[in-house]
Amino acid sequence: MLSAFRNTVRVPLINIGRLFQTSTPVSSDKFDHKRIPQNDEGVQGEKVVDLDSVLKTRQNIFPTLESDNLLFDGVPYKQLHICNIRVSHNNTIFTLTDPEGTVKVIKSCGIEGFKNTKKGTNIAAQTTAISFAAKAIDRGLKNIRVKVRGLGPGRLAAVKGLQMGGLQVVSITDNTHVSWNPPRPRKARRL
């Protein structure tokens, strides 16, 4: 049977190689697999949040009595819209409210299309933040205040995603609840 197979298949190998499209570089230079390309998908927003430069340029980073009257593109600080980010281990939820507290936009990683355990990842939070920023920009917003609440993998990625989406983050406030009355310890194991 093996000899019959050898006799029937007579296709030149040169023509087969031309049928498939390859992704190798056309130039004769060797491709270096250890070097990360500049336009790689995973490193686009890596240097967006640079706190060192912010600390060097701004003299007073803590709020004072006059900070409510600071203007950001002609809008006082106390009149800026607020982005509330609720981060948990299972999901990240974004809500955009006006200064009075009326909800304008709600987005979550589940609404964005992530399912099950992928909703709680930092990639899901960053992707949802970028689409959330696009919705906020469609409503005519440029500057926002951010309030983060909860502990989870998407805390920093959510703020990075807002900046990558084109919003100017004026302030970041941590509203995570701290329990001063922890639950009692577990019952001792009996042998």
Residue 76 has pLDDT above 70, yes or no: yes
Side chain identity at residue 172, one-letter code:
I
CA pair distance 46, 22, nearest whole angstrom: 30
Count of structural domains within the chain: 1
**Quick check: is 121 in a domain?**
yes
Q: What is the CATH number of the domain that holds 149?
A: 3.30.420.80
Is 5 part of any domain?
A: no
> Is 11 domain-assigned?
no
Mean pLDDT of 132-147: 93
- CB count in 10 Å sphere of residue 108: 18
1 in a structural domain: no
The reply to whether 154 falls in a domain is yes
Q: Which residue has the higher pLDDT, 157 or 19?
A: 157
Task: Identify the band that residue 32 occupies on the pLDDT scale cut at 50, 70 and 90.
Answer: low
Type of residue numbered 132:
F
190 is a domain residue: no
Assess if residue 62 is contained within a domain. Answer: no
- How confident is the model at residue 162, as a pLDDT? 93
Sheet strand arrangement including 168-174: 103-108, 92-97, 81-87, 143-149, 168-174
**What was the pLDDT predicted at 11?**
47
pLDDT higher than threshold 70 for residue 28: no
How would residue 134 be classed by pLDDT, with cut points 50, 70 and 90?
very high
Helix (H, G, I), strand (E, B) or coil at 119: helix
- Return d(Cα 65, Cα 146) in angstroms, integer: 19
Rounded (5°) CA angle 50-53-58: 125
pLDDT at 182: 86
Burial of 148 (0-12, 13-18, 19+ CB in 10 A): buried
Task: Characterize the bridge pairing of strands 103-108 and 143-149.
Answer: unpaired
Q: List, for residues 96-117, the tens digit of each pLDDT value.
A: 999 998 999 999 999 999 999 8
Q: Residue 72 pLDDT > 80, yes or no?
A: yes
Domain of 118 in residue numbering reads as 88-177
Domain membership of residue 10 (yes or no) is: no
